[in-house]
C-alpha cells in the first residue's frame, strides 16, 4: 500500500503516515505538537482545516473532502488519511518548538501528603489564545504578587490537558518556600510561567529497544512522575526502572503510586531506597545510596537512557558511578546540567 503524506500549510517538509496511524499520531511521531487532550474525538480540541484531499474520521464518524470551498474541519485524533492531504493547523509547533507563556491559573486544591510535602493542583485557562503545550519532565515558575518567583517540576503528564500537579516541600528555614505555600493556601489564583527545562521526554520518540531508567531523590519524584505517567498513558511497553531515594522512609511521600504502577504494568519495576535506615526502624526495603542501588541492578548500559532528578550532588554522583561502568555522559539527562554545571574535566 502506498504511503500517504501530510502537507502542512507553512511547513516545507511533508509528514509520511504509517499504516493505521491517525493524523495526530503521525504528527506527534515526527515531533510536531498541537492542541489536544482526550485523543478520542470528544473534547474537539485537535481541530485541523482540510485544504486538499480526503479523510475518514472515526468519531464522530464521517468522511471529509476538500472541494475548493470552505475548508472542512477534522479532528486529528480520530482522522485517517484516504489520500495525500494538505492541512492548516492553528498553533502547530514544529519539532522541538515550544512557547513559554505567563498565565494566571486557578488554584484547585492544596493538600498535605506528608508533614512537609504538599500536592498542589492548578488549572490553566481554557481559552485557545492561552493554551500551553509542555513536555513530560518540564517545570514552571510560580510568581508571587511581589514579583519573586520559584521553580517547581510539573508532576502531571501533558496528557492531562489543562490540569497541573506540583509537589512542594515546606522548608521551615526558607522564607521563599513558606511564602509560596502561604500564597497558594490563601489565594484562588496564581501567576505561572511555563514550560521550562530541557530534561524531558516524548513517548512518540522512544525507540522500541530503549531501556528507561528514572532516578529521583526526595521531591525530584515529581518530575519522574510526569515522565512515567506520560509513558503509561501512551502505552509505551519499554522496560522502565524507577529508583526513588530518600534519607528517611517518611520522605517517600507518595510511595503507593509507583508501587501501583509496578503492580499494574509488567514492564515497570520500582525500587525505593533509604540511605539512613536508622531514621526508619520499620523500613524493610533497600538501603544505601541511590547510585549504588542502580549499579547493583544494571549490568550494562547498552540502549539505556537515564533520567535523574534531585540535588546536583546526587545527579553527579550517579553520573560518575554509571560512567565508571561504561555509560556515556550523553545517556544521562537532568536539568542539573543546565542550572548547576560543574567544571569540564581536565
pLDDT tens per residue across span 110-165: 999 999 999 999 999 987 667 788 999 999 999 999 999 999 999 999 999 899 99
Question: Rounded to an integer, what distance in angstroms lies between the CA atom of residue 196 and that of residue 200?
Answer: 10
Cα–Cα–Cα angle for 252, 196, 48, rounded to 5 degrees: 115
Omega within 30 of 0 (cis) for the link into 3? no
Q: Is the pLDDT of residue 345 over 80?
A: no
148 within 8 A of 179, measured Cβ to Cβ: yes
Q: Which domains does the chain have, with CATH numbers?
A: 4-88 (3.10.20.30), 101-196 (2.40.30.10), 203-339 (3.40.50.80)
Q: In what order do the strands lie in the sheet with 73-75?
A: 15-17, 4-8, 85-88, 47-52, 73-75
Q: Is there a contact between 154 and 80 (Cβ–Cβ < 8 Å)?
A: no
Tens of pLDDT along 15-58? 999 989 999 999 988 888 888 888 889 988 899 999 999 999 99
Q: Does position 234 have pLDDT exceeding 90, yes or no?
A: yes
pTM for the model stands at: 0.75
Amino acid at each position: 500500500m502506498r504511503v500517504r503524506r501530510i502537507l502542512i500549510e507553512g511547513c516545507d517538509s511533508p509528514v509520511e503516515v504509517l499504516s493505521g496511524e491517525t493524523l495526530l499520531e503521525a504528527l506527534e511521531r515526527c515531533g510536531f505538537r498541537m492542541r489536544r487532550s482526550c485523543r478520542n474525538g470528544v473534547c474537539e480540541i485537535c481541530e485541523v482545516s482540510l485544504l486538499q484531499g480526503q479523510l475518514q474520521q472515526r468519531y464522530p464518524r464521517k468522511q471529509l473532502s476538500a472541494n475548493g470551498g470552505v475548508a472542512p474541519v477534522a479532528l486529528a485524533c480520530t482522522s485517517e488519511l484516504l489520500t495525500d492531504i494538505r492541512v492548516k493547523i492553528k498553533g502547530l509547533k514544529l519539532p522541538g518548538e515550544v512557547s513559554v507563556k505567563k498565565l494566571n491559573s486557578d488554584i484547585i486544591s492544596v493538600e498535605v501528603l506528608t508533614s512537609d510535602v504538599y500536592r498542589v493542583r492548578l488549572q490553566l485557562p481554557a481559552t485557545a489564545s492561552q493554551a500551553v503545550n509542555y513536555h513530560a519532565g518540564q517545570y514552571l515558575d510560580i510568581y508571587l504578587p511581589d514579583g519573586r518567583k520559584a521553580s517547581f517540576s510539573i508532576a502531571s503528564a501533558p496528557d492531562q490537558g489543562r490540569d497541573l500537579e506540583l509537589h512542594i516541600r515546606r522548608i521551615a528555614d526558607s522564607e521563599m518556600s513558606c511564602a509560596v505555600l502561604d500564597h497558594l493556601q490563601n489565594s484562588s489564583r496564581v501567576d505561572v510561567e511555563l514550560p521550562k527545562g530541557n530534561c524531558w521526554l516524548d513517548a512518540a520518540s522512544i525507540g522500541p529497544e530503549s531501556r528507561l531508567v528514572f532516578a529521583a531523590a526526595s521531591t525530584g519524584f515529581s518530575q519522574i512522575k510526569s515522565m512515567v505517567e506520560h509513558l503509561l498513558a501512551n502505552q509505551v511497553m519499554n522496560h522502565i526502572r524507577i529508583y526513588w531515594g530518600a534519607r528517611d522512609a517518611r520522605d517517600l511521600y507518595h510511595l503507593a503510586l509507583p508501587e501501583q504502577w509496578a503492580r499494574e504494568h509488567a514492564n515497570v519495576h520500582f525500587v525505593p531506597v533509604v540511605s539512613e535506615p536508622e531514621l526508619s526502624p520499620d523500613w524493610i526495603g533497600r538501603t544505601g545510596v541511590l547510585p549504588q542501588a542502580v549499579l547493583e541492578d544494571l549490568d550494562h548500559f547498552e540502549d539505556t537512557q537515564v533520567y535523574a532528578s534531585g540535588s546536583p550532588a546526587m545527579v553527579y554522583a550517579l553520573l560518575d558511578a554509571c560512567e565508571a561502568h561504561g555509560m556515556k555522559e550523553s545517556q544521562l539527562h537532568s536539568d542539573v546540567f543546565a542550572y548547576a554545571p560543574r567544571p569540564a574535566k581536565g
